[in-house]
A and B are shown apart, each in its own frame.
Chain A
Amino acid sequence: MSQVVAPPPMDSTPLGAQTLGVDLRGVTVSVKDVQAWAASIAAPGWADASGWAGAAAEAHAHAATCFARRLDVLEAVLDRVVTAADRFEDRLVRLRQWRLDLVAACATVDDAGRAELRRRIAAWTRAYAAAEAEIVTALCGVPVDVDRPDTARLTGELRGLLHAPVALAAWWRRLSRREQEALTTEHPELVGNADGIPVTDRDEANRARLAHDGGRLANADDVQEALDDYAPLIDPATGRALTELIGYQPTLHSGDGGVAISFGDPDIADQVSAMSRA
């Protein structure tokens, strides 16, 4: 009687994708920061060369205008890649759980169930390959995006819902992943500390801002050090880092800063206990 071969190990892990996403988001936050300054001093209509009519030659020679446009292209590319990395991470979390179920099934399958289990393992293998192919395509063939999220409008809506967590949660769920990621890297300080936004998304925003602040704010370096101490801890349910940075306000309390770290995801936990330092 032939045995069922267990699904192959995952060469790409949720933690690997999560770490890549954190690094890319940190870079994107900084690029957006510089781009926002350049855009603020650029010629009117800087984003659209046709809007330079009348002063086109001057605008072409205007350094901040050219700089803002060049950074804007880079920003669009980074937004796309961050979104792809985020999707990859989510898919790997699901694939990991699916694989664990299949490995467990291999140990208990009877003769009647072998064919069906082989079919499920083949489906898993195809899904894993598709997830890898998608991130590779996104990284290698990043097109210039002509239909980008309207972050100015989204930011206004987000600000209007900051004190209404239930409504904010519903609004956030309706956004596309690209819109969520664009907001996360444009305003990590809002997304990362907004009650109503899922903890994993807040963690992504706060880690991005933490990466941006690293080396500049002592509080940021302290938080990073604390997260690094817990980095070896992996959430057994997801394969991601166990810690979630669910609050990060480095200049709060007259500069003392405010930070909230969870172990595991309190959004889906059966029980939650909280500790705070007086």
Chain B
Amino acid sequence: MEPTPDPFAVIELDVPYAVLREARDRWAAAADELDRCWRRLARASTSGLSAAVTRAVEEFRDPCADELKALGGQAQDHADAFVLYGGQVVLADREQAERLRALLPWAEHAAQVVRR
């Protein structure tokens, strides 16, 4: 018979806090950079170009900017997934811990999720 999970147990990810904070900051920086990127691309100049070239620039620019925007949003979601408080990462359950582990550098991909 499976033991009943302890409702007061704490889920921890066996990764140094500095690594978690660095990962969150880098995802946030990537989000900011990609946000700037899509806005800059969306404003890419078509002045001094013929109507046909302008249309082609727009056809290229818009989906490309959308992709950058989507990637920026994804990076921001990843950054937001790190809830850091008082020198610790706050984890609700094993699923969240595993999700967070997938956002860390590959060197941490085997980090243990432990229940204490």
Contact = CB atoms under 8 A, between A and B. Distances in A.
B60 A139 contact: yes
Nearest to A15: B48
B26 A140 contact: no
Contacts of B41: 23-24, 27
Given A11-B49, A139-B60, A142-B60, A27 B37 contact: yes
Given A27-B44, A140-B56, A55 B74 contact: no
A43 B109 contact: yes
A82 B36 CA distance: 18
B83 interface: no
Contact of A38 (B30, B59, B64, B104): B30
Contact of B36 (A11, A16, A59, A215): A215
B10 interface: no
A62 B78 CA distance: 12
B28 to A, nearest CB: 12
B52 A30 contact: no
Given A12-B49, A16-B45, A23-B45, A71 B57 contact: no
Nearest to A129: B52
Given A16-B45, A16-B47, A17-B49, 19 more contacts: A12-B50, A20-B44, A20-B46, A23-B41, A24-B44, A33-B33, A34-B30, A34-B75, A37-B26, A37-B30, A38-B30, A63-B103, A64-B105, A67-B71, A78-B64, A132-B53, A136-B53, A142-B60, A215-B36
Interface of B: 26, 30, 33-34, 36-37, 40-41, 43-53, 55-57, 59-60, 64, 67-68, 71, 74-75, 78, 102-107, 109
